[in-house]
Structure 1
Amino acid sequence: MTTSQPSSEPVSLPAIAWFTSASEYAIDAAQRSLLFLDVMRQRGNVFREHAAEDAPHVLEFKCELVMDGRKLDRPVNYVLARIVPSDDVQIGLTARPFVIVDPRAGHGPGIGGFKADSEIGMAMRAGHPCYFVGFLPEPMPGQTIADVARAEAEFLAEVIKRHPQADGKPCVIGNCQAGWAVMMLAALRPELFGPIIIAGSPLSYWDGVRGQYPMRYSGGLLGGSWLTALTSDLGGGKFDGAYLVQNFENQNPANTLWTKQYNLYSKIDTEAERYLGFERWWGGHVNLNAEEIQFIVDELFIGNNLAAGRIKTPDGTAVDLRSIRSPIVVFCSKGDNVTPPSQALGWILDLYDSVDQIRSYGQTIVYTVHEDAGHLGIFVSAGIARKQYSEFSDNIDLIDTLPPGLYEATFTKRSADAKNADLVSGDWLMRCEARTLDDIRALGGNDGEDERRFATAARVSETNLALYRTYMQPFVKAVANPVLANWMQQFHPLRLQYELFSDANPFMAPVKAAAERVRSERKEASADNPFLAMQEKVSQQIVTALDTWRETVEQAAERTFLTIYGTPALQAACGVDPQTSQRSLRKAAKSPLHQQLVGKRIAELRAKIGTGGLRECMVRAALYIGMARGAADERGFETIRRIRLATTETQKLTLAQFKQLVREQFSMLLIDEEAALAAIPSLLPPGADERKAALAAVQEVATASGDLAGEAAKRMERVAGLFDGGKPRLAPVEMRTQANS
């Protein structure tokens, strides 16, 4: 008996520790479960309160109504609101306004100003007045996409009217589906726009990479847009936006079915506020008219007609994206499975054969590709707002004055020891680097076989829609009624999940009081509790299983689409030529008139090479040196801005005039570089001091982003010789000495 007692102690201690940990975890898990249920109750109440508002939105900022689209000649459910700056925000009198347009893709408005660190927040911190284009839950009767475009044009005209002193037209940000709407309007009314930023916006709807981004196959797998028409007919002429939200959720079942809820459950003491804030937007579903959703599905997502120029307005005007005259900034992400980079940027390949062709249309296109941000992260991530959107806001004038061409915006962390760090406006340094179309192709895209498959799917969709409208639609419209439409909407699974957990459900009545009692007696498990580790492991296994299921379904969907629409017999029946080359099925037509206008413009610029003065010579010289680097740095532009602002009022150029000057001088260098340089000595003033000061300013701009080397240094030497009356080039040391004397 005495010998057995010590041997039992080592066994009993782990058992006691195990029991203690289990008891601690059980109490914690039970409390978390009740608190989780209470958050679900609050979520349901927030959903009901949000839906009961006259103009529900999730803007963090105070705003005031400027224009109500319901009062226009062609009424729409869109509104223009002015964002009221807080007391600590200083708005510049000449700063260009920013107009943020939110997507009407199933959710309500406000995601562009969802929090302080957002698109609106960053623009206001940079001193820009801000406006917001939102919408109401219900569309106006008969409202079309063309009507919405007319309303947004009137909104922009009003913003321009309110800011006559602004140094540039409004910068317009189009999020997700608002991006293509903004691009269409900019093609039709280019005079209303300053720089355009399209974030997570699909414009090339067929593009993608095999094995990724399966959402593009959905239209073909459903047999086309007939199902859209059926849903709208059952809805009494309206399409419930909850179906669009459901499509987004289906893209990531692990997050929809588990991760989002588990993250709340596992961090119930700290996560509730953030979760409820997001769900307030996510559950705010809005409706579209049947005509609107049918246009979107037929013309864009299945037809892919936007970049090809095959969309026409009611008066017959073709929407040609090459008509846009404002710089276009495309922000996309490799982690976005809704709008991958190829869909955000593929339209450039549809419209242009080379960067020179982009320049011939006077277009400036800047793109930036995030490595891993998801679709919603592009709009709601505070980190992205403080980096990309902050830099876009601070450097919007740089973007506006970039010479025509294709650029990629890159961002590097600002360091204190960087050269001229005081010229960097924020925590990041933005640099626009010249790119070619091969850089866009490298992001992935379709081959000729895939193009024929998507073209076949579009033809099948047209046929099925015609069959539905002929044989089924009359019957569906006869049996559909407002009661059925309302029943379908109220009992949609996405709405039902909110309603069932709200206070409208009498079975939820005890939850609030029980949760309050739990909060007062809360006992969290210790961080090293082994059962918490087991819980996390189980969660990871569930996510892995759901991801495996998703990947299996996606692979099957891709194989099915490729097999069915790759069938030669089906392609022949749909009139798709098996010899059609890559992208030619959606390539925009070339305009002989454009070539004539380009030739005329080249002749005009060539004749102006020998005209101008000191200002033209300085810009021409700075561009010549900068072209060797193939990039524009915000430090160089800030130097130019300071020089421009220091000029006397009688000599100062407006931003628009400076932009025109930069573009003309850049074009002259492209047309005939040697002639443009040879003309500099004859255009400079005779005074040596004036020339030296001008050369010093050119050198200051050229070296703002770093010392010159290689070809750029050689060009600086040549410029120094030209400014010295065409004398032989100076050595770099001599050049700097004279320029600084």
Structure 2
Amino acid sequence: MTMHPTQPTLPAPFAHPPALLGDSASYLLDRLQRSILTLDVLRQRGNVYLEHARAGNPPVLVFDYEMVMDGRELERPANYALVRIIPPADSPTDPKKRPFVVIDPRAGHGPGIGGTKIDSEIGIALRGGHPCYLVMFFPDPVPGQTIECIANAEVIFLKKVLERHPEREGMPLVIGNCQGGWALMLLAAMAPDLVGPVLLAGTPLSYWAGVEGKNPMRYNGGLMGGTWLSSMMGDLGDGKFDGAWLVYNFEQLNPANTYWSKPYRLFSKVDTEAPRFLDFERWWGGHFLLNREEIDWIVQNLFVGNRLTGGEITVDGGKHHVDLRNIRTPIIVFASWGDNITPPQQALNWIPDLYADAEDIRAHGQTIVYCLHENIGHLGIFVSAGVAQREHAELVSAIDLIDTMEPGLYEAVIEDTQPGMSNLELINGRYLIRFEPRQVSDILALGDGREHEKRFELVRRVAEVNQALYDQFASPWVKLFSNALSASALRALHPARVERYTVSDLNPWLWPIGAMADTIRNKRAEVAADNPFVQLEKHFSGLIEDCLDHYRDQRDQMHEQTFKHLFESPWMTTLLGARRARRSPTSLRAQLERLNIKAALHDFDHGGALDAFARVIAYVRGDGVIDVRPFNMMRRILSEQRVEPVTLAEYRDSVQRQSFVLMLDEERALQGLPKLLPDRLMRKTVMDFVLEVLGAAGPLDAASAERYQRIKALLGLNAQRLAAAPAADASPHGAASTPPKVASKTATPRKPAKPKGPAPTTH
């Protein structure tokens, strides 16, 4: 058993016996007071739980909001609603900025986790002047509600957001937190024209992925025999599954935190910790329900079945398959190495499931960006103020750039700005975000291979067999002995609820505690931090944490070994076998591929200054790193020179077309540039503009400088050796006196396609 890494050395309590007597007296008095204060905070937690439940478990937002649409009133009702976040008086929203829509997870808790603090996802959006909306939900599902009903309601909500913001520049940024992320991907694949960039925060999408010895939660489905147990809990709940059981499973992942560290942290810091503790517990203790049909769909199609990335999920009564490659807007993934619920492999391995390599991603016109935090836990992704101020703020500030980047796979790297950086005035805040090109092999390298995922094919088959047996023989009997009264009693007896309402003012034995705590606060005698008994207490607290961690590690190892012995055994494979549906291109895809290639062939020699600018930028930059400075420089020049405006949508369409043209036939694309720029003055203006924009990030490297000179030669301009971009201290507009009027005067934008390989996506 390893010692706690921050263990203090044991004090020598008998070194000074007279002082020891005084230390022990002050320690005992402090701990007696601290115990009563802690009990009073737990009593307040129970009262908060009861008050929150009586109020209908509203969203735990620190912002005011107003109802826009109630999904319970739709033709296909669902217990979801769309609310508008009312901005603070000092942060008015700009109707021309892209709206933000946050979808919170329905994983046992209530909504609002993305806005529990001023520094949060919602807070960052409001601070930037963006209109902000939240897709919330109510505690009880509508009878007969299914996942498809929810997706249909969310489609209607997004249409309403677009209707309310006709002057917006850019499609809405939609954020999916945890399980709200897979719901968002489902929505974006079903209605790709309604969403803008998609941000997935701590979202599991590849449920079988992980690292052996580190991610034991994925084994639970196999060890429990599949999905039948959640169905039984739904039957016992009279057709409703209690979300408190999902929370219970999360808590068991880290028993040291659940049973010791969390309560001890409250006890040891009770004088200052109470407000934060109560705010968090308001959300953590608000348990919501799901219909049995909903939890069955989730565990059978996602957690155990892993069907989403395989294109096996259908909608409209099986008429249409949900293909995540239909999503045509940028996808941003934020995950953390410290997340034990959604490890990076589960957040990212859907990418190699869908795309063979980075070229395949580009061929589909897709942009995927991922950002990995070093150590923040799962909940910290949504509630940490530090994460909000750094990762969320930087990703949000760069959303227009991400929306207009060349298709491909990128990793977002955030670093502190340095005094010597070029054009610091083009960086918002203290951080610089850059996007480094990556390959699909880089995603796979984050784990230890995918060979071990084959075992889960067998788990899925076992789950299907056991589910069929339960539905046929056991479910009717369980339903027979269940009713609304028994279901309500079972929910009331859940440990998570019992520990709250029994330690509240419902318990008459606790009525004196409030008055005692008030008296103690007025006469508080806090012990000194260097008291030897305090140090001894911390030492033993660390030992308890170590013991619980050791138990967790042994338990997880036992689960993993048991799983391997069961699902690697030849007799199990022979008995049940395993099957996996394979995705195949449809005739419609092949037809669209031919049409898109025909359109792309036209784009080689047709277009205007905007298309030429986008083509040259993409060629000169090559596979180099992208950061916000060139994009902000381009916006500054366009704004200051008052050229004919270019919308983000026009620029994004041009970038999409030109990047595909370059990928299809780079040499032919370069030879077509003179036709896009027939005027010599415009050629020079465009090239000067390109140099000024790319030079905002610092001097061009040798390869980029060579490519730049080649373009100048092709355009018949005086090609001179380019040693470096303008110096950092030069005038930011020294390279071009007048930027080109790059408003789109081209033909109707066409989506790119790929002549060979996987078929392009379609709406």
- Shorter chain as denominator, the TM-score bin is over 0.9
Deviation at 1:714, TM superposition (A): 1.5
Letter in 2 for 1:399: I
The answer as to whether partners of 1:207 and 1:446 remain within 8 angstroms in 2 is no
**Distance in structure 2 (CA, Å) of the matches to 1:438 and 1:313:** 32
More helix by share: 1
CA 1:592–1:349: 2 relative to 1, 3 Å:
farther
Aligned counterpart, 2:103? 101
The answer as to whether partners of 2:695 and 2:726 remain within 8 angstroms in 1 is no
**5+ residue gaps in structure 1?**
1-10, 578-584
Deviation at 1:393, TM superposition (A): 1.6
The answer as to whether partners of 1:342 and 1:445 remain within 8 angstroms in 2 is no
**1:695 equivalenced with 2:687 (yes/no):** yes
The correspondence for 1:619, drawn from 604, 608, 614, is 614
- What does residue range 113-132 of structure 1 map to in structure 2 within 5 Å? 113-132=115-134
Identity %: 47
Letter in 1 for 2:626: A
Aligned counterpart, 2:530? 528
Letter in 2 for 1:638: N
Aligned counterpart, 1:654? 647
Structure 1, residues 378-405: CA drift from partner, whole Å, max 9, x if none?
1111000001111122111111111111
Aligned counterpart, 1:177? 179
**Distance in structure 2 (CA, Å) of the matches to 1:700 and 1:401:** 18
Deviation at 1:668, TM superposition (A): 1.4
The answer as to whether partners of 2:692 and 2:735 remain within 8 angstroms in 1 is no
Deviates more, 1:376-385 or 1:83-92: 83-92
The answer as to whether partners of 1:360 and 1:598 remain within 8 angstroms in 2 is no
The answer as to whether partners of 2:91 and 2:129 remain within 8 angstroms in 1 is yes
Structure 1, residues 640-673: CA drift from partner, whole Å, max 9, x if none?
2223434657x32211111001111111111222
**Distance in structure 1 (CA, Å) of the matches to 2:356 and 2:641:** 41
**Distance in structure 1 (CA, Å) of the matches to 2:462 and 2:680:** 73
SS in 1 for 2:175: strand
- What does residue range 143-292 of structure 1 map to in structure 2 within 5 Å? 143-292=145-294
Deviation at 1:446, TM superposition (A): 4.9
Letter in 2 for 1:288: L
Letter in 2 for 1:713: A
Deviation at 1:373, TM superposition (A): 1.0
Deviation at 1:280, TM superposition (A): 0.6
**1:380 equivalenced with 2:373 (yes/no):** no
Q: Quote the RMSD (CA, aligned, Å).
A: 2.0
The answer as to whether partners of 2:201 and 2:334 remain within 8 angstroms in 1 is yes
Deviation at 1:617, TM superposition (A): 2.0
Aligned counterpart, 2:596? 601
The answer as to whether partners of 1:304 and 1:586 remain within 8 angstroms in 2 is no
**Distance in structure 2 (CA, Å) of the matches to 1:635 and 1:517:** 58
Deviation at 1:417, TM superposition (A): 3.0
Aligned counterpart, 1:411? 414
Aligned counterpart, 1:732? 723
**Distance in structure 1 (CA, Å) of the matches to 2:180 and 2:719:** 56
Deviates more, 1:664-673 or 1:148-157: 664-673
CA 1:731–1:553: 2 relative to 1, 3 Å:
closer
Deviation at 1:55, TM superposition (A): 4.8
**Distance in structure 1 (CA, Å) of the matches to 2:342 and 2:642:** 48
The answer as to whether partners of 2:363 and 2:660 remain within 8 angstroms in 1 is no
The answer as to whether partners of 2:332 and 2:369 remain within 8 angstroms in 1 is yes
- What does residue range 61-72 of structure 1 map to in structure 2 within 5 Å? 61-72=63-74
**1:354 equivalenced with 2:354 (yes/no):** no
Deviation at 1:595, TM superposition (A): 4.9
Deviation at 1:427, TM superposition (A): 2.1
Structure 1, residues 281-308: CA drift from partner, whole Å, max 9, x if none?
0000000000000000001100000000
CA 1:143–1:81: 2 relative to 1, 3 Å:
same
Letter in 2 for 1:716: Y
Deviates more, 1:730-739 or 1:462-471: 730-739
Aligned counterpart, 1:557? 559
Letter in 1 for 2:205: L
The answer as to whether partners of 2:337 and 2:376 remain within 8 angstroms in 1 is yes
Aligned counterpart, 1:425? 428
Letter in 1 for 2:149: D
**Distance in structure 2 (CA, Å) of the matches to 1:135 and 1:680:** 53
Deviates more, 1:239-248 or 1:472-481: 472-481
Deviation at 1:92, TM superposition (A): 2.2
**Distance in structure 1 (CA, Å) of the matches to 2:290 and 2:93:** 36
Letter in 2 for 1:718: R
**1:514 equivalenced with 2:507 (yes/no):** no
- What does residue range 440-459 of structure 1 map to in structure 2 within 5 Å? 440-444=443-447, 446-448=449-451, 450-459=452-461
The answer as to whether partners of 1:350 and 1:588 remain within 8 angstroms in 2 is no
SS in 1 for 2:87: coil
Deviation at 1:34, TM superposition (A): 0.7
CA 1:365–1:591: 2 relative to 1, 3 Å:
farther
**1:679 equivalenced with 2:672 (yes/no):** yes
Deviates more, 1:596-605 or 1:486-495: 596-605
Letter in 2 for 1:117: D
Aligned counterpart, 2:6? none
**Distance in structure 1 (CA, Å) of the matches to 2:623 and 2:185:** 32
**Distance in structure 1 (CA, Å) of the matches to 2:417 and 2:280:** 32
The answer as to whether partners of 1:617 and 1:684 remain within 8 angstroms in 2 is yes
The answer as to whether partners of 1:307 and 1:321 remain within 8 angstroms in 2 is yes
**Distance in structure 1 (CA, Å) of the matches to 2:329 and 2:187:** 12
**1:638 equivalenced with 2:641 (yes/no):** no
**Distance in structure 2 (CA, Å) of the matches to 1:146 and 1:735:** 55
- What does residue range 357-368 of structure 1 map to in structure 2 within 5 Å? 357-368=360-371
Aligned counterpart, 2:758? none
**Distance in structure 1 (CA, Å) of the matches to 2:57 and 2:527:** 43
Structure 1, residues 255-296: CA drift from partner, whole Å, max 9, x if none?
000111111111111111001100110000000000000000
Structure 1, residues 417-463: CA drift from partner, whole Å, max 9, x if none?
31111111222111111110111001115543x23321111111111
Aligned counterpart, 1:707? 699
Letter in 1 for 2:723: P
- TM-score, normalised by the number of residues in structure 1: 0.94
Number of equivalenced pairs: 719
The answer as to whether partners of 1:126 and 1:390 remain within 8 angstroms in 2 is no
- What does residue range 133-148 of structure 1 map to in structure 2 within 5 Å? 133-148=135-150
**Distance in structure 2 (CA, Å) of the matches to 1:51 and 1:176:** 23
The correspondence for 2:468, drawn from 466, 469, 479, is 466
**1:300 equivalenced with 2:291 (yes/no):** no
Deviation at 1:607, TM superposition (A): 2.7
The answer as to whether partners of 2:404 and 2:652 remain within 8 angstroms in 1 is yes
Aligned counterpart, 1:5? none
Aligned counterpart, 1:437? 440
**Distance in structure 1 (CA, Å) of the matches to 2:726 and 2:550:** 65
Deviation at 1:616, TM superposition (A): 2.2
The answer as to whether partners of 1:113 and 1:121 remain within 8 angstroms in 2 is yes
Structure 1, residues 171-204: CA drift from partner, whole Å, max 9, x if none?
1000000100110011010010000001111111
Deviates more, 1:708-717 or 1:597-606: 597-606
Deviation at 1:360, TM superposition (A): 1.9
Runs of 4+ that moved beyond 4 A: 590-593, 646-649, 726-729, 733-741
Deviation at 1:475, TM superposition (A): 1.1
The answer as to whether partners of 1:720 and 1:735 remain within 8 angstroms in 2 is no
Deviation at 1:593, TM superposition (A): 4.6
Aligned counterpart, 1:44? 46
SS in 2 for 1:704: helix
Aligned counterpart, 2:658? 665
Aligned counterpart, 1:582? none
The answer as to whether partners of 1:351 and 1:587 remain within 8 angstroms in 2 is no
Deviates more, 1:300-309 or 1:399-408: 399-408
